Chains A and B, each alone.
Chain A
Amino acid sequence: KAGVTQTPRYLIKTRGQQVTLSCSPISGHRSVSWYQQTPGQGLQFLFEYFSETQRNKGNFPGRFSGRQFSNSRSEMNVSTLELGDSALYLCASSVRETEGSYNEQFFGPGTRLTVL
């Protein structure tokens, strides 16, 4: 099976702009989670989507949003970018609510966002 794919891999934006990142989960995985990784804050959970609905949310401002499509692909959007949004954004997929599954997350390579 192909792994989790994320596009684009690298992105440079300026303050005030908005950005959309894309994630395609492993085939058959219906749960997609997003994380932000920075040197200062480490890995922080953004949100999780399952069946096109946001099921869990982390402590991020409303500028961070996401959605999931019927084919389980997910996008996250960050509006009005700030310098502090520079980070590696990781997407993870998993098989949710299936007997024998225990929240094992399979991560993509990430999108490196730089805000200038």
Chain B
Amino acid sequence: SQQGEEDPQALSIQEGENATMNCSYKTSINNLQWYRQNSGRGLVHLILIRSNEREKHSGRLRVTLDTSKKSSSLLITASRAADTASYFCATDETTDSWGKLQFGAGTQVVVTP
């Protein structure tokens, strides 16, 4: 079963625009992470936000976390064609769940030149 659900399922934007995607989850979490996957290849870790953090930045990425609403958002600013990929949020629920991430269904992002 999947813990997280991403919204929207698909997003099409032009280069230079910002892309925002959201993730909702069901149970209490330790951390929430975002990953990128290109064309059915391996996942690339983008950013991790701990449950006691509210916002985090990494380059063109901005992640927010609202534990009261059990939701997170990922913002990619000034998008590039190379950002075309599927983006997944992943949560881990307890300190005993090391390695056991619960993934959402993902948001497919297409960035056109």
Say whether A104 contacts B48, CB under 8 Å: yes
* B44 nearest CB across to chain A (Å): 7
**Which residues of B sit under 8 angstroms from A44, Cβ to Cβ?**
103
* A39 nearest CB across to chain B (Å): 10
Say whether A56 contacts B103, CB under 8 Å: no
Say whether B41 contacts A104, CB under 8 Å: no
For window 56-111 of B, CB contacts with A under 8 Å fall at 88, 90, 92, 96-106
Say whether A56 contacts B101, CB under 8 Å: no
Number of A interface residues, CB 8 Å? Answer: 32
| Interface residues on chain B, size class | 20 to 34
Given A33-B99, A55-B98, is A103 in contact with B42 using a C-beta cutoff of 8 Å? no
* B53 nearest CB across to chain A (Å): 11
**Which residues of B sit under 8 angstroms from A56, Cβ to Cβ?**
96-100
Beta-carbon nearest neighbor of B103 in chain A: A43
Say whether B50 contacts A90, CB under 8 Å: no
Say whether B41 contacts A42, CB under 8 Å: no
**Which residues of A sit under 8 angstroms from B102, Cβ to Cβ?**
45
Q: Which of B2, B98, B103 contacts A48 (CB 8 A)?
A: B98
Say whether B106 contacts A103, CB under 8 Å: no
B113 in contact (CB, < 8 A): no
- Bound complex: CA A107 to CA B41 (Å): 9
Say whether B31 contacts A107, CB under 8 Å: no
9 intermolecular pairs with C-beta atoms under 8 Å apart = A33-B99, A33-B100, A42-B105, A43-B101, A55-B98, A56-B97, A56-B99, A106-B45, A109-B42
**Which residues of B sit under 8 angstroms from A97, Cβ to Cβ?**
98
**Which residues of B sit under 8 angstroms from A50, Cβ to Cβ?**
98-99
Q: Which of B31, B88, B99 contacts A43 (CB 8 A)?
A: B88
Say whether B42 contacts A104, CB under 8 Å: no
- Bound complex: CA A86 to CA B100 (Å): 21
B28 in contact (CB, < 8 A): no
Q: Which of A59, A94, A106, A109 contacts B41 (CB 8 A)?
A: A109
